[in-house]
Amino acid sequence: MHPARRKRHTGWWLLLAAAIVALGIAFAIMWRPALAPQTTPLSFDTTRIARGANVARLGMCASCHTPDLSRPFAGGKPMSTPFGVVHSTNITPDIQTGIGAWSEAAFTRAMREGVARDGHLLYPAFPYNHYVRMTEGDVQDLYAYFMTRPAIAAPARENRMTFPFGFRPLVAFWNLLYLDDAPWQPVATQSAEWNRGAYLADAVAHCAACHTPRTLLGGPNLKKPLGGGEADDWYAPALNQDSPSPLPWTREQLQAYLRTGVAHDHAMAAGPMQDVVTYLAQADARDVAALATWTHSQLAKAPARTTPAQGAGPLPKPADNDPDLQRMTLGYAVYANACARCHDVGRDASSGTALPLQKAIALYDPDPRDLIHITLGGIAPPDGEPSRFMPGFRTILTNEQTGALAAYLRKYGANQPAWPDLDDAVRKASTP
């Protein structure tokens, strides 16, 4: 054989061998075995079940797995991601459609590795990259709680993922980048309460899942921990030195906010945070106090700011020399007619009036979505729960009026630079 031809043949064989090796490595990374079904009757101590119930509340499990309150933990909630729509699954002990056939080992693997009992990889919309740091005891107690819930037949709904993200084995490569299985470690120089709050925030309540920005691959941006993220198209503000809060938080205010959704001198919970408050209100008060202690230590890193919140009062008319006078005048008119009668009065603990808007964090966020969602949809307490209420103006305001109001509040309420792409954000929020 001619030497040049022999060389080409050798090159092809080497390329084929490299491809086979690469496929073998990829298969080893992506493949997970099925685990044997649980067949023996299970029995759990009531104390363990009660502890598991508290862990479930701290982790807000029902927030995703209970879209229908009459069918607790039966799943089916659609969650929009940049990669498609994922539906939560049934985590009741139904044998056919839930986790009734899951052993404790299978449940633990799902919590720590994101792998279902049959071996398929779970999408990281399920925050197993946080749960991996839960203690063995908390995972076991959570298993006891879920396996003693009423079994409900609820087949999984089909996910709608964009190509190629519907190919689940690709999640294995996401895990290589973002699944850190190092055990959670306490900080020796901090108090027991602070460490408890830090553990709950990281491993159980997974605060960073919303409050940390995401990379293009959907993983947490580890260069900006707690630097502000999003959930369900709402902006989740930074919980660190970049917090946009116009007024500092006290530990007591945070504790009240996490339990009730309302705190003195701060805006009430809205959007996805309402679900968080709903379940933390039912959790052990000592754990919520620990979360408040840890959160306060993070927010305390923000520098002191001088904002209009310190001298809150009625918002002014636009200045005559405002370069955007027409829009600001429209925004002020909307404010005067729709907002001022509540927000100019000022909120007291037992009053029916509202927070002065100079104190509302939504005006200071680097993203206008929260203010737009609140303006259009209002804030209503969960069904059957007593709380403050704000009406929505979706059926009353045009896009032009909504954008003008947001622009006016941003400038004359917060004294902040204009939001870029505000009108696009209004159009997206107002589109059914």
pLDDT digits (tens, 9 = 90+) for 186-203: 999 999 999 999 999 999
Q: Specify the pLDDT at position 313.
A: 79
Q: Which residue has the higher pLDDT, 308 or 273?
A: 273
Q: Specify the pLDDT at position 221.
A: 97
CA distances in angstroms from 66 to 75, 90, 304, 395, listed in the order given: 6, 9, 40, 29
Residue type, 207: C
H helix and E strand count, the chain: 17, 5
Q: Specify the pLDDT at position 27.
A: 47
- Give the residue-averaged pLDDT of 339-346: 85
- Give the residue-averaged pLDDT of 164-185: 94
Judged against a pLDDT cut of 50, whether residue 23 lies above it is answered with no
Q: Per residue in 158-178, is it b (16+ CB within 10 Å) or e — as a string? A: ebebeeebeeeeebbebbeee
Percent of all residues in the chain with a pLDDT value above 90, rounded to a whole number? 83
Concatenate the DSSP letters of all residues of 333-383 into one string: HHIIIIIHHHHTT---TT-S----GGG-GGGTSSSSHHHHHHHHH-B-PPT
CA geometry: angle at 361 spanning 358 and 365, to 5°?
Answer: 115
3-state helix, strand, coil in the chain (%, to 5): 45, 5, 50
Residue type, 102: W
- Give the residue-averaged pLDDT of 100-111: 98
- Give the residue-averaged pLDDT of 40-62: 97
Judged against a pLDDT cut of 90, whether residue 28 lies above it is answered with no
Q: What span, in angstroms and rounded, lies between the C-alpha atoms of 116 and 34?
A: 8
Phi, psi (rounded to 5 degrees) for 86: -110, 140
Closest CA to 375 of 408, 418, 350, 351: 408
Judged against a pLDDT cut of 50, whether residue 415 lies above it is answered with yes
Q: Which residue has the higher pLDDT, 410 or 352?
A: 410
Joined together, the tokens standing for residue 401 give 């009026």
Closest CA to 429 of 390, 392, 384: 392
**Four-point Cα dihedral 410, 241, 276, 416, nearest 10:** 0
Contact of 66 with 73, CB cutoff 8 Å: yes
Per-residue pLDDT band at 4 (split at 50, 70, 90):
low
Helix (H) or strand (E) holding 81: strand 78-81
Q: What span, in angstroms and rounded, lies between the C-alpha atoms of 302 and 321?
A: 34
Percent of all residues in the chain with a pLDDT value above 70, rounded to a whole number? 89
Q: Which residue has the higher pLDDT, 397 or 1?
A: 397
Q: Per residue in 413-429, is it b (16+ CB within 10 Å) or e — as a string? A: bbebeebeebbebbeeb
Q: Specify the pLDDT at position 345.
A: 74
Provide the 3-class DSSP secondary structure of residue 390: strand
- Which DSSP symbol is given to 315? P
CA distances in angstroms from 101 to 106, 147, 195, 205, listed in the order given: 9, 10, 35, 26
Task: Establish how many alpha carbons lie within 13 A of residue 99's alpha carbon, considering only the half-sphere containing its beta carbon.
Answer: 31
State the average pLDDT for the chain: 91
**Four-point Cα dihedral 312, 387, 367, 264, nearest 10:** 30
Contact of 370 with 230, CB cutoff 8 Å: no
Per-residue pLDDT band at 432 (split at 50, 70, 90):
confident
Tens of pLDDT, residue by residue over 359-385, are: 999 999 999 999 999 999 999 876 666
Q: Specify the pLDDT at position 6.
A: 56
Q: Specify the pLDDT at position 344.
A: 85
Closest CA to 123 of 69, 92, 160: 160
Joined together, the tokens standing for residue 174 give 């996401």
Q: Specify the pLDDT at position 306.
A: 85
Least confident among 6-10, 305-309, 390-394: 6-10
Q: What span, in angstroms and rounded, lies between the C-alpha atoms of 125 and 210?
A: 11
Q: Specify the pLDDT at position 385.
A: 62
Judged against a pLDDT cut of 60, whether residue 310 lies above it is answered with yes
Whole-structure pTM value: 0.91
Q: Specify the pLDDT at position 22.
A: 45
